[in-house]
Structure formats: C-alpha cells, structure tokens
Amino acid sequence: MAAVICSATALAAGLGAGTSGAAPPSVSDPMVEGPIGTAGLWGHPWNDQFFEVGSIGYREEEYFVSGTAKTYAASPTIAPYKTRILVYRPTDPRRFNGTTIVEWDNVTAQNAEEPIWTWLHPMVFREGYAYVFVSAQAAAICCGPRSHEAWDPVRYGGLSHPGDDYSFDIYSQVVQAVRRPQGLDPMGGLETKRVLAVGNSQSASRLHTYVNTVQRDAGVVDAFLLDAGGSKTFAREPPVPLIQLLSEDGLSPAAPNVSTNYRLWEVPGASHNDADTGAHDATNERTTTHAPKQPYAGDEEIHRHSHYGEEGLSTHATCAPVLLDGGNEYPRRYAVRAAVHHLNNWVKTGTPAPTPSRAEFDALDLPSRDAYGNALGGLRLPPLDVPVATYAATTCGLFGATIAFDPVTLAQLYPSHDDYVEKMQAATDRAVSAGFLLPNDAAELMTLARASMVGVAG
C-alpha cells in the first residue's frame, strides 16, 4: 500500500512515502521520548485511567516512539513513523515479576482502545506485571475524527504513521524498546525477561498475521494471546507459545491445523465484548475530561462491576446502551486472566497451557445449547454449570445481554441459598483444578455467590 503521512508536522519536514530498500536484518532500535507529562489541550494522555496508580506502587507514563519501519512485502519498503505508548509499571523493581504485557491497540472504532486491559488490570496490579498500550495502526494516530491527533492536536500533532503495512515493524520496535532499551528507557530500569503480545478482535487478527509473517524475523515476542480474532489456520506451527481464546460469536467446529505451541480456548457464554468493558470505559477512562484522578479503590474497585447475573434483573437483560449498564455479564475476564497466567508460566517453565474440551455443535454447525439457552462444551466457568441466567452472547451487537432466571426457575434449581453456594463452590473447585480459573478469581466469584440472594426465601 502507498504510505500515508498524516501529521502536518511530518509533511513539513519532507517525510514522504515509503522508499524501496533492503529490509533491515533485525528489529531496529527506535528513539523514545518522554515521559510526555501534561502537554496538550487536555493535560493527560488518551485513555489514561481515572484512578491513580501511585498509591498501589505503580507508575503511569506516556512516551513517543519514533524510527524507520519496514514492510513485510515481496518488495519491502521503509518509511519514518512516530507513535505513542502508554506504560504501567511497578515503581519498586522487587514487585516486578519480569513480564511485560504489550497490547496492540484495537482501532475498529477508529481510535485506540484496550479491551484486554479492561479484563486484566486487577491481575496486573496484583501480580506485578508491567503493561504497555501500543498505537500500532494509522487510525489510532491520525486522519480520522477520533484519532489521537484529532483529540489533542497540541499533544499529538507531531505523530505520524506511514500506513498499516508498517504496523508490524512498529510494534516490534516498541517491544524492542521495552526489552532492550537503547537510550531513554520507558521501563524505568526494570528488566523485562518476557514479553506477552496480546490483542482483541481486529488486533488479534493483526497478531495472527504477525505470528505467520513477522515472528521468525523479529523474535522479540515470547508468547501470544489472540483474543476473539484471527484464524485457527496458521502457515506453520507458531514458533512460540500461543493461546487463541474465542468468545461464543467466533465458535465453529473447524479444527485448528497446529497443536504443539498452540492452544484453543473456546469460551461459551462469553460475548465479543461485554458489560465489563462497557463499565470500564464509562468509569475508568477520562478521555474527554479534565477531572482529577481518584485513588484506586482496591477490592472495591475490582468488585464494583464484577457481577455475573447473580444480582437478578437489570438493564443487562436488554440492549440498553453500554454506558447505561448494558451487556453480557458472563465473566470472560477470568478466562483471559487464566490464559495470560498460563502463557507466562509456559514461557518461564516450559509447561504448556492446559487444553479445554471443544465446544459442542449441532447439525447446522451452531453451538449446541442446554434447556436454558446456554452453550455446551468448551472452557466452562462456574456460572455456566451452576446457572442463574441465560448468557445471550451473540445479541446486542458485540456486547451481548444477560437474562436472569425468574424466581420460580431459581427456586426449582436451588432450594436454598446454601444449596446454591455449595454447588458454586464445587464448580469453582473443578475450574481451579483444571487450570481455567485462578485462585484469586475463584475467591472473587465465591464472594459474589455468597452475597447473592439466590436461594434466599422471599
């Protein structure tokens, strides 16, 4: 594709389209500038969080990364770029677990979003990960009404992007700057031992291409999480561990063509996006406000939106706008966290991630369903096996809906609250033993179950 430089500043500097040339033999070292601080119209980065992280021993900093990127085409070209990253890292090196998660920003809405951060950030803070948002694609940087440059032309007017064919090398160079910094270190001296590349939906599809086309050349990523996107077919066996997590909208009976470094996690009940992502966007991203940050609320913050349908009828049963608390409450966040845990352990110890059962399909190749409309088979979290709702995972666009059971159905299933809690505990123990539910998340789930009104005589 022809390169497109979106920044007026870059045009003035005479940076043109990509120029033909031999591809560099390895990932180039980019230049890093920052932290950017309070520059610009809004005084803070795009998509930073409402909560401040200093009180929990983390630092939030934005940097600009620039260099010359190449394409992975039959006739490679090179072109200059300048993008931005947002970094969350422990301030105390002793808290850092050695792993940096690098999320490829999703640009489906023509801006930069980080759905996986939404599901992961409590685990990130709890377990000492570092986390980096990367605006790898052109739509995040410029040229549209929702880009960084349009949102704050003062802060981001100097950014430039030559086009998405260069996004793969831009991503590689950011990872290079994270794990082997030359010059300014965006990690503040933390030594990154492992890099996990993560992406949701369109970003997962980009990472699928990266695995097929770039990974063997670049070699800077240690493992991949492809969430709700990408094909189950690969050009060859992935060279590093990879988990592909598919929500219900992406399920099909087709089998993957690789297995050694690949695990397929099909998650019935899970929507493409869900109530968690909607609630997080509404409460934690201060994109269009000057409002000051609030202290991170710890367990209160974690539990604020972490229901799974046990609270009964709500706007989650409708296709209400997500900002009005709509969306599927099935806790896919637990599966995403377990996937990251196992990828990290796979890289550290060589122990592969567990393989769940496949989802079940009917004669039309659609997910088979139980009497309550919930899908069968696959990676099953306790709310599917001890149900209190129907998880309409493929309705209401990408966000789904939660249709709570009526009181008569609940009374038939669970004669008492103790009966319900006991069944949930048994299902939770099974999920933990299988490796698909982390102990901390099991504790959160059971806290919600014990606090629920399920089985309480009315």
Per-residue pLDDT tens for 115-174? 899 899 999 999 999 999 999 999 899 877 778 888 899 999 999 999 999 999 999 999
Rounded to whole angstroms, how far apart are CA atoms 269 and 143? 37
Average pLDDT, the chain: 87
pLDDT mean values, one per 10 residues, the chain (458 residues): 39 33 65 93 80 91 97 95 97 98 84 83 95 93 82 92 96 97 96 97 96 96 97 97 97 96 97 77 54 70 72 68 67 96 98 97 96 96 96 87 92 96 98 97 94 86
Q: What pLDDT shows up at residue 413?
A: 97
CATH number for region 24-230: 3.40.50
Calculate the CA dihedral of residues 213, 87, 282, 149 and round it to 10 degrees: -70
- Closest CA relative to residue 190, chosen from 181, 200, 202: 181
- Residue 347: its H or E element: helix 332-349
- Closest CA relative to residue 287, chosen from 53, 10, 122, 86: 86
Rounded to whole angstroms, how far apart are CA atoms 338 and 354? 10
- Residue 133: its H or E element: strand 130-134
**Domain boundaries of the chain, sorted by first residue:** 24-230, 275-288+303-451
Q: What pLDDT shows up at residue 84?
A: 96
Q: What pLDDT shows up at residue 52?
A: 85
pTM, 2 dp: 0.91
Q: And the tokens for 50?
A: 């409402």
Q: What pLDDT shows up at residue 62?
A: 96
Q: What pLDDT shows up at residue 11?
A: 30
- Report the 3 state secondary structure along 248-309: HHHCCCCCCCCCCCEEEEEECCCCCCCHHHHHHHHHHECCCCCCCCEECCCHHHHHCCCCCC
Q: What pLDDT shows up at residue 285?
A: 52
Q: What pLDDT shows up at residue 42?
A: 79
